[in-house]
């Protein structure tokens, strides 16, 4: 086992970073695309000729974001620590941190979902659902809450696998889970006319199978650092280690949840068509951002391993390669979405008013895809290096620092046009701030960069060796 671990470490520290990043990124990209596609199809299928139900699904997206906040925060935090620890050859602490992260994520998610299940209608109202949307929204939201623990556990396990360079099991789990979910969605919700209940059963099956396959992948491979109940250590030291890289994700997901609520409230002010159209556009754009995140997740373990081992040149080479690749892809995808926004949202028979507003939002967002992609990669870089302060600022810039005030101001000044443009303007402003925060990272030598990482780190967190 020890020899296999050392062989994996050598591969991460010596192989060509471009090929290594692509090999790790491809399965992660496919996994996140499959997961986002399943979520988008839920919204498209349930929006067929039913604007109220489409609006309900849009509001429930905020609940899903809250659940993802727990899984992404603890999973990304533990995963980044595991990568750096393995780069330094420290396996015991990596095992304890990963076990503590998984246990904590499940406990927090179970508490959130249980509370939400008892107060579903008030929760939806708080998230921006108009009274007429609640009859359709409550059943769907309860299915989202019921599937929450499986989704949360899957996000943590996938981060731990990816942190060790094992992304193929992630792809298999998420693709097969999404395929099952999409098949059941069509069979039960469309052919069986079961509506929300058919979509809910498909969602439960999707998340359950994904968690099962990820658990099997970790248990099957004895060379991997994997969580275990005996290794759980809920200590302040371990939580600091997790939050060193997890805090930026917590802030990013937290402001994403808040901005989702504000988007729902802002859309509802312009009617159900706007609320439903905004929801469809956001889910379509999430498909694109998920692809960039999946690609960036291939970069993170490469950067984390090499930064932990002091190989800054390899970090720089991998980062520049990823930024160039993402820029080219986002320009192409942005042009595609701009030209085919309306046909995409019309595929499943959404009402004309919903399509019209959603297409306008999606076109505006597509013009700033290049900025969104660059900011995501800057966040991945600072997070992989454990630079908590900078990573937190980059992570919250796009959907927090800029988007939240823009959502409060632009619709008041420019009406529907202000709401349509808010996310694109936020992306461009976030790019300017993120570039300022990361522009000189590779202009310093390894020792100075590590000093920066220690200054930027969560207080009392262990610094790179």
Note whether residue 244 is domain-resident. yes
Of the candidates 308, 248, 254, 243, the residue with the CA atom closest to the CA atom of residue 100: 243
Please tell me the number of Cα atoms within 13 Å of 172 on its side-chain side.
12
Exposed e or buried b for every residue in 285-303, given b needs 16+ CB within 10 A?
Answer: bbbbbbbbbbbbbbbbbbb
Note whether residue 81 is domain-resident. yes
Which has the minimum average pLDDT: 36-45, 192-201, 253-262? 36-45
How many Cβ atoms are within 10 Å of 118's Cβ, its own excluded?
9
Q: What is the distance in angstroms between the CA of the first residue and the CA of the last residue of the chain? A: 24
**What digits encode the pLDDT tens for the residues 116-125?**
988 998 988 8
pLDDT of 463: 39
pLDDT of 339: 92
In this predicted structure, the answer to whether residue 382 has a pLDDT above a threshold of 90 is no
pLDDT of 26: 82
CB of 356 closer than 8 Å to CB of 388: no
pLDDT of 368: 95
Domain residue limits at 153: 16-456
**What digits encode the pLDDT tens for the residues 299-343?**
888 887 788 777 888 888 999 999 999 999 999 999 999 999 888
Note whether residue 4 is domain-resident. no
Query: How many structural domains are present in the chain?
Result: 1
Question: How confident is residue 128, by pLDDT bands cut at 50, 70 and 90?
Answer: confident
- In the chain, what percentage of residues exceed pLDDT 90? 27
**What digits encode the pLDDT tens for the residues 164-176?**
877 788 888 988 9
pLDDT of 3: 62
Note whether residue 1 is domain-resident. no
**What digits encode the pLDDT tens for the residues 174-192?**
889 988 988 898 888 878 8
**pTM for the structure as a whole:** 0.72
Note whether residue 237 is domain-resident. yes
pLDDT of 251: 81
How much is the CA Rg of the chain, to the nearest whole Å? 21
Of the candidates 41, 69, 66, 46, the residue with the CA atom closest to the CA atom of residue 56: 46
In this predicted structure, the answer to whether residue 74 has a pLDDT above a threshold of 60 is yes
What DSSP line would sit under 110-140, residue for residue? HHHHHHHHHTHHHHHHHTT--GGGHHHHHHH
In this predicted structure, the answer to whether residue 465 has a pLDDT above a threshold of 50 is no
Question: How confident is residue 228, by pLDDT bands cut at 50, 70 and 90?
Answer: confident
Note whether residue 9 is domain-resident. no
Average confidence (pLDDT) over 14-31: 82
Note whether residue 125 is domain-resident. yes
Give whichever of 9-18, 227-236, 454-463 has the largest mean pLDDT: 227-236
* Number of residues in the chain: 465
CB of 331 closer than 8 Å to CB of 370: yes
Note whether residue 5 is domain-resident. no
Which has the minimum average pLDDT: 45-49, 130-134, 215-219, 403-407? 45-49
């Amino acid at each position: 086992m020890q020899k296999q671990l050392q062989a994996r470490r050598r591969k991460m520290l010596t192989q060509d970073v471009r090929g290594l990043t692509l090999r790790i990124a491809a399965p992660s990209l496919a996994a996140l695309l499959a997961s986002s596609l399943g979520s988008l199809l839920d919204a498209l299928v349930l929006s067929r000729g039913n604007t109220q139900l489409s609006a309900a699904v849009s509001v429930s997206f905020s609940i899903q974001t809250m659940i993802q906040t727990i899984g992404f925060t603890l999973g990304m935090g533990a995963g980044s620590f595991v990568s750096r620890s393995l780069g330094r050859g420290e396996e015991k602490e990596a095992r304890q941190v990963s076990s503590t992260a998984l246990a904590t994520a499940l406990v927090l998610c179970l508490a959130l979902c249980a509370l939400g299940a008892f107060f579903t209608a008030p929760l939806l109202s708080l998230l921006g659902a108009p009274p007429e949307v609640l009859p359709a929204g409550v059943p769907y939201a309860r299915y989202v809450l019921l599937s929450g623990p499986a989704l949360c556990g899957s996000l943590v396990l996938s981060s731990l696998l990816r942190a060790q360079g094992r992304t193929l099991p992630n792809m298999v789990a998420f693709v097969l889970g999404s395929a099952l979910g999409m098949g059941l969605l069509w069979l039960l919700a469309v052919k069986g006319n079961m509506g929300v209940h058919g979509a809910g059963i498909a969602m439960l099956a999707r998340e359950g199978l994904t968690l099962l396959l990820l658990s099997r992948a970790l248990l099957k491979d004895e060379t991997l650092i994997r969580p275990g109940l005996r290794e759980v250590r809920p200590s302040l030291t371990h939580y600091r280690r997790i939050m060193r890289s997890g805090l930026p994700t917590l802030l990013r997901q937290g402001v994403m949840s808040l901005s989702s609520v504000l988007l729902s409230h802002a859309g509802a002010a312009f009617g159900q068509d706007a609320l439903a159209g905004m929801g469809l556009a956001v889910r379509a754009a999430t498909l694109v951002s998920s692809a960039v995140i999946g690609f960036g997740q291939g970069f993170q373990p490469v950067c984390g391993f090499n930064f932990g081992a002091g190989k800054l040149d390899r970090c720089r080479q991998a980062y520049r390669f990823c930024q160039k690749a993402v820029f080219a892809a986002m320009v192409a995808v942005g042009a595609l979405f701009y030209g085919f926004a309306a046909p995409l949202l019309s595929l499943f028979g959404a009402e004309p008013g919903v399509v019209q507003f959603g297409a306008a939002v999606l076109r505006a967002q597509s013009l700033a895809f290049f900025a969104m992609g660059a900011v995501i990669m800057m966040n991945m870089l600072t997070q992989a290096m454990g630079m908590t302060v900078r990573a937190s600022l980059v992570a919250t810039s796009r959907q927090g620092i800029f988007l939240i005030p823009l959502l409060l101001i632009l619709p008041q000044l420019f009406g529907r046009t202000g709401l349509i443009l808010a996310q694109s303007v936020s992306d461009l402003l976030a790019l300017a701030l993120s570039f300022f925060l990361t522009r000189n990272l590779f202009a310093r030598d390894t020792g100075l960069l590590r000093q920066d990482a220690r200054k930027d780190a969560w207080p009392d967190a262990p610094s790179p060796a």
